[in-house]
Amino acid sequence: MYSQELPITQRPIPKVVDTPTTEVTLPAEEAVQLIAEPAQDTTKPKAFLQYKLESNALGYSQLDRKKNIITLYDQALIIYGDIKLEAGKIIIDNNTGDVYAYGIVEDSTGNYVQKPVFTQGANVVEPDSIIFNKNTKKALTYNSKTAQGEFNVVAEITKKVNDSVFFMRNARFTTSKNPENPEYYFLARKIKFVPKKKIVTGLVNMYIADVPTPLGLPFAFFPMTTERRSGIIIPSFGNNNNQGYFLQNGGYYFAVNDYVDLTLLGDYFTNGSYGARVESNYRKRYKYNGSVRFLYEVSIQSERGFSDFRKSGRYNLNWQHSQDPNSNPNSRFSASVNLGSPDFYRNSFNQTNQSATLINNLSSSISYTKTFPGEPQVNLNTTVSVNQNVNTSQTTMKLPNFQGSVSRVYPFEPKVGAKKGIIENINLQYTVNAENTINSQDTEFFGPGFLDQARAGVQHTIPVATNFKIGYFSVSGNANYEETWVFDTVDQTSFFDENGTVRVQRDTINGFDSYRTYNYGASIGTTVYGQWNSKNKDSKVQAIRHILRPSVSYTANPSFDQYYERLLDESGEIISDEERFFSRFEGSIYSAPGRIYSSSLGFSVQNTLEAKVKDPENEDGELKKVQWIKSLNFDTAYNLAGDSLNWSPLNIRGVVPVFKDVDLQLNATLDPYALDNSNQRIDRFNIENGGSPFRLTNAGARFNFKLSNKDFIKGDSEEELGKVENETLRNGGRADDLFGDPIDPADGVYYEEEPAVEQEVDLKKSRYNFELPWTLNFAYTLNYNNTGRQNAITGNSIMVSGDLELSPRWSVGGNTGYDFVGDGISFTTIRFQRDLESFRMSFNWNPIGVNNSWFFFIGIKAGALSDIKYDQRKQPDPRF
């Protein structure tokens, strides 16, 4: 029934039927067809909807023909163009084009469930309720939640103006993974939000654990792009005891293109010290990748006019380049450059990696290798290298080195079948090595006369070898021919100085010269096996095998005295009673050929001891093989051409397994000859002198191991061996973390974090299963010296480092050591790290020694807010 007053309409009043049709429940497909019917327009037909409207609901779909309203209930869904709306209840008003979406209240629990989820393209919004107009595409959402890049945004009211602009009131945005209860958030009263681009706010301040902080700004801009963008890097600030207040690591980041970036950073201190840094990373997939970093610093200590005033400059160039092996298998270019001032790692402003201060050598090399495949294969390699000793400032530069080689060739091998006999196994190679070496002090590096110190030469080597078998014995023979070219020689003359002492004057003669040498030798050896089997099946040890590999070798080095001359004075007369000889090749890059003829026999014995024992962890009773002695080697030699002291000392080296992957390495040297009163070796056996058959001249023992809680868990898989190359290794330090992991001064991170895997926890079991993951690195070294009756321990030190995870988000660690000979504590650090979910906090402290320093950092993890951080540090005292 209708009332007497009818609404004004351009359409005729539909015919009234007998059955009530005020509200009719229709299938969703029929409802779509009804609201998608074109409107009656006699002038120009126009579709009522721009897109096809698809809808569905699990509960019911209801159409009110009078009000022209569709209601979808329980898991309602509509799709309109690129818009997808899911909710517990959706109402579509076809008169105004408004779409209302709400959650529903469960009858049993009273919870508000099936909250709306509004999706448009890649943008997803999850409000409590929403009003959307399908004609204007504008929307109002209440208590909406959306994720944009690293940000989670929760707004009290959100107004969608168009596809790219949103306005929000009382919005909270955070990078916390729990936007409902974040550890921190920024509260902004008004926001203009452009998805995937930016957030522009009015007054904004930071809340931590729902507590407002005084950290606020009248306005703020937050970039939200998922792509790399150029931008300003906010510097760190603080106070340094040596240089005063500072701004550090501030600058600009350039996103050059998809393959290269560039970072410019600077440091400034109130006492006038400053520093600059240029960094660039580059990568081309399947081709190459690398990084370049250059740092320059000027440090000022004290004040001008004071006696302790110092002004010093330092620099460091670090370039790492690696080529994908698959890009060109026959050609490879690589670079590992770490070049700089000797004191850089000890006095740098940004040196937070404590272990880098222990580096004694800076090594750099750039190499290119070219291989010509075939038979024989030809390999060419060119290398430029620089080695700097930071303690002595001695620099050795090789510019360049060239190496060429031809693979092994068997000229008499048969065309088919295996090689047999002495003739068919004859093989030879060819190697050429050209060097140009410069030795100088760091202060003279590339200074005047630097290139005049170069020593150049070329050395050709042709080794010839063969091997064959005689019964159970393996026999090999070898000969080696070398030809050496040099480009400067020396001439020496003797004279008396004012005190009547004989002096030698050396004159360098530039020009090409050469010499040729050769040597030859042979060896014979075999392998002997000793086996013992237990007759008792219940015995723990079921079998023992001893492997013995004795060998005898012969080596001859002829005398090349034709390259030597007697030392004379300027007039050609001998002014010394001694017969003194010199070679014009002394001091050349390859030194002079040997003048003393040697012919010696070498004796060596290698031992290995293995056993088969019952495995208590194997229920089937299978045996497992264990090594009791991995190696125990003895070697000595007898000089057939010597007139005295023919026997060489007996060297002993052994490796004994102690625990799992822990090996005890032992070495000792036993001398059969006695000493005189001056502690010099004499041609008399020690036993003939009233002593023992051998004198222990030196010995050593060392072992290191790494343990963790996983080593004591049965069935746990072993950790992957090795670490990815880190900053310490690139700088020339240790590959392991015995001295602690390196820290990035920009974000205070010890290592790259792995994403945490959320797992359901059995509360009953977790109450009793208390586990603290830990790792322990242990290294011990002992050295004994008695070459001249010292009978002294020359080295006795221990190093320990470890990490303990007190909780999944809290870890502590450190390293220390003790030198028992020097009677002092060695390099020591203590480190803490706390994962505050959205924040990270770290503290690294070196409490003692010349490297006494500390570094504290706390900051937001997310890269978009990485500039929101606080760090403080105390640098080590500078060393001049």
For the segment 193-217, what is each residue's pLDDT rounded down to a tens digit? 887 778 888 888 888 888 888 888 8
* Helix (H/G/I), strand (E/B), else coil: 784: strand
Mean of the pLDDT values across residues 512-516? 93
| Closest of 813, 778, 817 to residue 659, by C-alpha | 778
Which tokens in the block code for residue 469? Answer: 């078998």
- Asked if 12 and 43 sit in the same domain, the reply is yes
- Asked if 89 and 127 sit in the same domain, the reply is yes
| 107 has pLDDT over 80 | no
Query: Strand runs (DSSP E) across 210-309, as ranges?
Result: 211-217, 220-223, 231-233, 236-240, 244-254, 262-269, 274-284, 288-301
Q: What is the pLDDT of residue 744?
A: 54
Which tokens in the block code for residue 555? Answer: 């080596």
Which tokens in the block code for residue 653? Answer: 């080296």
pLDDT band for position 752 (cuts 50, 70, 90): very low
pLDDT band for position 758 (cuts 50, 70, 90): very low
Lowest mean pLDDT among 411-425, 559-573, 653-667, 776-790: 559-573
**Dist. CA 199–CA 224, nearest whole Å:** 7
Rg over alpha carbons for the chain, rounded to the nearest Å, is 41
| 764 has pLDDT over 60 | no
Terminal CA-to-CA distance of the chain, rounded, Å?
A: 103
- Asked if 106 and 195 sit in the same domain, the reply is no
Q: What is the pLDDT of residue 85?
A: 86
Does the residue 400 lie in any domain?
no
Residue pair 626/611 in contact (Cβ under 8 Å)? The answer is yes
Q: Which of 689, 722, 752 is the last residue of a domain?
A: 689
- Asked if 848 and 743 sit in the same domain, the reply is yes
* Helix (H/G/I), strand (E/B), else coil: 872: strand
Query: Strand runs (DSSP E) across 106-163, as ranges?
Result: 112-113, 117-120, 123-125, 129-133, 139-148, 151-162
| 44 has pLDDT over 60 | no
Does the residue 437 lie in any domain?
no
- Asked if 151 and 171 sit in the same domain, the reply is yes
| 51 has pLDDT over 90 | no
Highest mean pLDDT of the ranges 248-252, 727-731, 851-855:
248-252
**Dist. CA 687–CA 836, nearest whole Å:** 70
Which tokens in the block code for residue 285? Answer: 């997939």
Q: Which of 654, 689, 724 is the last residue of a domain?
A: 689
Q: Beta 139-148 vs 129-133: how paired, if at all?
A: antiparallel
628 contact partners, CB below 8 Å, separation of at least 6: 609, 610, 611, 656, 657
Does the residue 640 lie in any domain?
yes
pTM score over 0.75: no
Does the residue 392 lie in any domain?
no
- Asked if 170 and 194 sit in the same domain, the reply is yes
Average pLDDT of the chain, as a whole number = 81
How many structural domains comprise the chain? Answer: 4
Which tokens in the block code for residue 789? Answer: 């009756």
- Asked if 708 and 740 sit in the same domain, the reply is yes
Lowest mean pLDDT among 182-186, 361-365, 391-395, 614-618: 614-618
Which tokens in the block code for residue 366? Answer: 């750039």
Q: Which residue has the higher pLDDT, 261 or 737?
A: 261
DSSP state of 29: H
pLDDT band for position 880 (cuts 50, 70, 90): low
- Asked if 715 and 861 sit in the same domain, the reply is yes
**Dist. CA 409–CA 427, nearest whole Å:** 5
Is the four-CA dihedral 136, 142, 145, 147 of positive or negative sign?
positive
- Asked if 678 and 532 sit in the same domain, the reply is yes
For residue 106, the enclosing domain spans: 1-137
Q: Which residue has the higher pLDDT, 604 or 191?
A: 604
Which tokens in the block code for residue 644? Answer: 């005295």
Does the residue 669 lie in any domain?
yes
Does the residue 465 lie in any domain?
no
For residue 860, the cross-strand partners are 839
Which contacts (CB < 8 Å, 24+ apart) does range 136-144 have?
A: 136/97, 137/83, 137/162, 137/163, 138/162, 141/116, 144/118
**Dist. CA 399–CA 367, nearest whole Å:** 11
Q: What is the pLDDT of residue 319?
A: 93
Residue pair 497/478 in contact (Cβ under 8 Å)? The answer is no
pLDDT band for position 741 (cuts 50, 70, 90): low
Does the residue 512 lie in any domain?
no
Residue pair 603/635 in contact (Cβ under 8 Å)? The answer is yes
Does the residue 499 lie in any domain?
no
Q: What is the pLDDT of residue 766?
A: 43
Which tokens in the block code for residue 572? Answer: 């050609």
Residue pair 558/564 in contact (Cβ under 8 Å)? The answer is no
Tens-digit pLDDT profile for residues 521-572: 999 999 999 999 988 888 888 899 999 999 999 999 999 989 988 877 767 6
- Asked if 745 and 812 sit in the same domain, the reply is yes
- Asked if 623 and 550 sit in the same domain, the reply is yes
- Asked if 719 and 663 sit in the same domain, the reply is no
DSSP state of 212: E
Q: Which of 82, 109, 137 is the last residue of a domain?
A: 137
Length of the chain: 880
Q: What is the pLDDT of residue 486?
A: 93
